[in-house]
Every structure is written in C-alpha cells, then in structure tokens.
Amino acid sequence: MDIAVVDDERAVREHICGLIKKQKPVSRIKSYATGEELLASGEWFDLVFLDVRMSGMNGIETARRLREKQEKTVLIFITGIKEYVFDALDLYAFQYLLKPLDEKKFAEVLERAEKEAVRKKGKRELFIKARNLRIDQNDILYIESRGKKVEIHTVRESIEIYASMEELSGQLEEGFYRCHRAYLVNMAHIKEYGNDSISLANGEEVYLAKKKYGEFVKAYMWYLQNGGVSCV
C-alpha cells in the first residue's frame, strides 16, 4: 500500500507516519510539508492523508488537483476545523478526522481505508509460472526485453526472468503498449512523451519507435478518454 501524509506541521506528519507504520509496517509511506510538494512529486498513492489548513495551497485545493489525475486515490482529511467538512464530501473524501487524533479511531479508519483502496484499485496480477510469482500489474512501470530474458520494472524493484515479450503481453490487460520492440510500457505511469521517448513518473525514460509515434498517440489518447487513469 502506497500512502502519503501531507501536513505543514512536522510533528503532526511524524505522528501520523508513526501510527501508520505501527499498523501497516510493510506500506510505503511518503510525507510532504505542502500540497505543492505532493503534486510536484508525480507519485501515485493508494491513500492520502491531507491537512486542510496549510501554508500555500490548502488541502481542499490540493485534493481537487489530485483528483484530476488520481481519481481512485482514497482521501482522508485531517484538521482541527469542522467547517470544511462539506468541501471534503464534494471531493468524495473517505473520512474527515479531527485533531487531536484519537488513535483508536485512526486505526479503525486506516483499516477501512485500506480495504476501500484495494477495492478501488482492482488488483490485476501478472503470473510468472517458472518462479511461482505474482506481480500486481498496477505496479509495473515497463517491461524490457533483454535477449532471452525480460526485466520487469515495478515501482519497487526490477525482476529479471526467462520469458518473451509475447508471453507476458498475452497476460497484460488494456493499458500496456508495445512502444518499441524492446519495451512494453504501462500507460498509467506515463508523465510525458516526445517523438522518440516516453518519460515515466519515476523519472525513467523508455524508447518510442518513431514509426510507432502516431499509433502510440492514438492509443494513449484512447486510454485516457476511456477510463484509463494516469498516475501522474
């Protein structure tokens, strides 16, 4: 589970991160002091804890902009003020928690929010039979062909296996595109593209065959217009 904590008070950020680590030790947690930092990171999160009143961009505006790119992200607002509750509801916030945090209530909300995130995400897996390995397709950035092997690059690690691109592409659902003979890219992680390359949310680039440029643009536009959600 990928979780972001956004609050302009360092002590509050550290407290919330500590509560999450205690309950969900294997989750990846990132903290940000401002909404601008969160949006500029270009990272995708399953769950975001947002303070409402922050210096610079407030939590409500941050959530509005985040929703434009990450409509499946579960939002939880944390604040000491009740007056923003209806704004939060307009943004389909999962929960509105008041400061000071009640740790028992926080634990209950986190548990329910994780279940909601899993439901929204809709887990799709790539099964590697030779290694009895299952990889969440949502986590795959791109797949790279290396002769008789392929390297599967995910948001957390790279996995090298003996297989062909054709074998794997048969398992992958819509949202993946063969942009080059050596690369299969997950369009959910595309940040931008040029005539001969595609930039991903994590800063990496993959080649885009020039002869495939027009076809790729059409495929990517179709993806975005038909329910595909970019992670950036």
Mean pLDDT, residues 193-205 taken together? 95
DSSP 11-46: HHHHHHHHHHHHH-TTSEEEEESSHHHHHHH----S
Q: Please check the confidence at residue 122 and state whether its pLDDT lies above 80.
A: no
Using the predicted structure, report yes or no on whether residue 86 has a pLDDT greater than 60: no
21-30, 79-88, 193-202: range with lowest mean pLDDT:
79-88
| Residue 172, pLDDT score | 85
Question: Do 78 and 99 contact (CB within 8 A), yes or no?
Answer: yes
Q: What is the pLDDT of residues 210-232, one digit of tens each?
A: 999 999 999 999 888 765 654 44
Q: What structural domains and CATH numbers belong to the chain?
A: 2-121 (3.40.50.2300), 125-225 (2.40.50.1020)
Q: List the strands of the sheet with 197-200, edge to edge.
A: 190-193, 197-200, 205-207
Per the DSSP assignment, residues forming a β-bridge with 183 are 144, 180
Residue 89: what pLDDT? 52
pLDDT bin (cut points 50, 70, 90) of residue 85 is low
Query: Looking at residue 232, what is its pLDDT?
Result: 45
How does the average pLDDT of the chain come out, rounded? 87
Residue with tokens 């704004």: 87
pLDDT band at 70 (very low <50, low <70, confident <90, very high): confident
Cβ partners under 8 Å of residue 18, min gap 6: none
182 token code pair = 């050596």
**Least confident range of 116-130, 158-172, 176-190, 212-226:** 116-130
**181 vs 123, which has greater pLDDT?**
181
Q: Which percentage of the chain shows pLDDT scores above 70?
A: 91
